[in-house]
Structures are given as C-alpha cells and as structure tokens.
Amino acid sequence: MNLSDIIAINICKQGSDNMRIAICDDEVSMVQILEEKIKKLLPDAVIDKYLSGDELIASGSKPDILFLDIQMPGMDGMETAKMLRQDNEDMILIFVTAAEEYVFQAFDVGAFHYLVKPFSDEKLKEVVTKAVHNIKRSSRLEKDEKYIMVQNAGSHIKIFLRDIVYAEVYNRKVIIHTRSTDIEYYGKLQELSDMAGTDFFRTHRAYLVHFKYVEKYDATCVTMKNGTALIAKKNYPEFVKQYLKYNQRKGNEVR
C-alpha cells in the first residue's frame, strides 16, 4: 500500500460519499492532473471539469468544493467566484494558481485556501482534508438547527429543537420548556415527538424529554435542567436503553 492509498482511506473515513467537486482551469493538463490527484483522495466524489469561468457559470453547477484557477481568458477566476457566491455561500473555494499577487483578493470572495502552483501532493492532501472536515462540521451544525414553528397568541414562533429541554401536555396544550422560556400552543405531543428524533424520548404520555438536558433519573421521574418529567413504569427500561445509546453517540459515556 503506497502513500496515496493511505491518504485516500483516511479521507474516506472522514466522509466523502457523493461529495461534488468542480475543477475549473483553462489548462487541460492541469485539470487532468488535479482530477487524478483528487480521485485518489476522494474516490467516491463526483468530479466535474470546466475549462473556463463562463463554462462553469453556464453549467449552473453548485459544487461542495471548487478548485478554481484565477488567470483565465474571458471571465477570470475572481469574477467567476463572485458570481458563484451569489447562489452558493457554503461552497468551499480553493484557488489553484501560479499568481501569488491575488491572495488578498481571495478573502473578498471567501476563499478557503490559496494553492500556488506547483504544490506538493502532501499540501493538496492537507487542504482537501481540512475542506472535508469543514463540510462535515457544517453538516452537523445544519442538522442541529432543526426547528418547529408554533402559533401562540396570534404570533408564529420559531423554536430550535436544540433549545427544547422538555415538553409536556396540560389542558389540551403542549408546553415547551426551553432553556430560557416556556411556550404554549394547541397541538399534539406525538407530532412533536415524531419530528424531534432519537435525541428525545417520550417518558410518559404527557412528557417528552431531551436527553441532552437530563441531569438525573430514577424509575419514577427524570430531573431536567429546569424541571421534572414523569416517567411511566413501563417506559423506564426503554428510557435507560435509549439514554445509554444517546451517550454512546455523543461520546459522553463514562466507564
């Protein structure tokens, strides 16, 4: 097994399945070289190739990572990057150029890195690895940003799931206890439970708790960060099982 194989295995473990990569450079040989090197690093990625900024813009492509030359005939790399940024703020932009003098302009279009030709395989590996980490981190944050909209006193309120400590039903209303306030609305706790996912658990027909904010528990109740939720005797074994799974997922289990 050579170095490129080891690099590819390590990066694939970080999660590159179905990642979309675009290479834009007016030099055909440079496009081919980059494609070959990136395939070794990210063998499962989809790679699109373009020989000009105009061609890239016309394609409507929205890559996860773009390797972009600066000095190209027609629309140069900087102008291309500005146009792409209008519809793709999350794209990882990596300039690949022989011109060092544009490095400060690269900040204006949110460049992730500025690779100066010629560069080593190790340098490319370092930049790609960081880019993949960045995409994974953004993906995790995006998942954590799920929210619900509820109607209360004529107003529509956005509540992020990450902020919900627990919820309960009282007098046909669902009361959501967040880290900072309580919000009531007419609805069904089951609907909230279905949306909330595996980080939450229905301890009782009247209570839904967020594992993240559990401070202690026994067979009768769960003490949360800002309140207490009842736990039905029949639900206790499954609660313990799912809470342990949650801790394993989050890396919080103490042995």
* 214 and 151 within one domain: yes
CATH assignment of the domain containing 182: 2.40.50.1020
- pLDDT over 90 percentage in the chain: 59
Last residue of a domain, one of 143, 166, 185: 143
Residue 13, domain member (yes or no): no
Q: What does the pLDDT read at residue 101?
A: 84
> Which two tokens mark 151?
């109607």
Q: What does the pLDDT read at residue 141?
A: 55
Q: Measure the CA dihedral 50/51/55/60, to 10°.
A: 20
* 190 and 166 within one domain: yes
Average pLDDT rounded to a whole number, residues 213-224: 94
Q: How confident is the model over 75-127, as pLDDT tens digits?
A: 999 999 999 988 887 889 999 988 888 888 888 888 899 999 889 999 999 99
Q: What does the pLDDT read at residue 255?
A: 34
Q: Which domain holds residue 194?
A: 147-253
Q: What does the pLDDT read at residue 2?
A: 41
Last residue of a domain, one of 87, 119, 143: 143
* 162 and 99 within one domain: no
CATH assignment of the domain containing 25: 3.40.50.2300
The residue among 213 and 86 whose pLDDT is bigger is: 213
Q: What does the pLDDT read at residue 142?
A: 56
* 25 and 131 within one domain: yes
How would you write the chain as a 3-class SS string? CCHHHHHHHHHHHCCCCCCEEEEECCCHHHHHHHHHHHHHHCCCCEEEEECCHHHHHHHCCCCCEEEECCCCCCCCHHHHHHHHHCCCCCCEEEEEECCHHHHHHHHHHCCCEEEECCCCHHHHHHHHHHHHHHHHHHHHHHHHCCEEEEEECCEEEEEEHHHEEEEEEECCEEEEEECCCEEEEECCHHHHHHHHCCCEEEEECCEEEEHHHEEEECCCEEEECCEEEECCHHHHHHHHHHHHHHHHHHCCCCC
* 203 and 114 within one domain: no
* 138 and 34 within one domain: yes
* 159 and 58 within one domain: no
Q: How confident is the model over 42-67, as pLDDT tens digits?
A: 998 999 999 999 999 999 988 999 99
Report the candidate in 218, 194, 222, 195 with the shortest Cα–Cα distance to residue 207: 222
Residue 133 has pLDDT above 90, yes or no: no
Report the candidate in 224, 215, 169 with the shortest Cα–Cα distance to residue 192: 169
Across the beta sheet with 214-217, the strand order is: 214-217, 221-224, 227-230
* 159 and 131 within one domain: no
Q: What does the pLDDT read at residue 57?
A: 95
Residue 158, domain member (yes or no): yes
Q: What does the pLDDT read at residue 98?
A: 87
Q: What does the pLDDT read at residue 166?
A: 97
Residue 3, domain member (yes or no): no
Average pLDDT rounded to a whole number, residues 184-202: 92
Residue 183 has pLDDT above 90, yes or no: yes
**Count of alpha carbons within 13 Å of 80, Cβ hemisphere only?**
33
Residue 116, domain member (yes or no): yes
C-alpha Rg value of the chain to the nearest Å: 25
Q: How confident is the model over 159-169, as pLDDT tens digits?
A: 989 899 999 99
- pLDDT over 70 percentage in the chain: 88
* 246 and 221 within one domain: yes
Q: What does the pLDDT read at residue 7?
A: 39
Residue 229 has pLDDT above 90, yes or no: yes
Last residue of a domain, one of 87, 112, 143: 143
Q: What does the pLDDT read at residue 9?
A: 38
Q: What does the pLDDT read at residue 213?
A: 92
Query: Greatest CA span in the chain, whole angstroms?
Result: 72
Residue 5, domain member (yes or no): no
Strand pairing partners for 94?
67, 113
Helix 3-13 vs helix 28-41: crossing angle, to nearest 10: 70
| Residue 60 to residues 50, 57, 83, 93, Cα–Cα distance (Å) | 12, 6, 11, 16
Report the candidate in 37, 123, 139, 22 with the shortest Cα–Cα distance to residue 77: 22
* 196 and 110 within one domain: no
Banded pLDDT at 12 (limits 50, 70, 90):
very low
Residue 192, domain member (yes or no): yes
Average pLDDT rounded to a whole number, residues 205-220: 94
pTM to 2 decimal places: 0.53
Residue 79, domain member (yes or no): yes
* 152 and 81 within one domain: no
Total domains in the chain come to 2
Average pLDDT rounded to a whole number, residues 4-32: 68
Residue 216, domain member (yes or no): yes
* 119 and 30 within one domain: yes
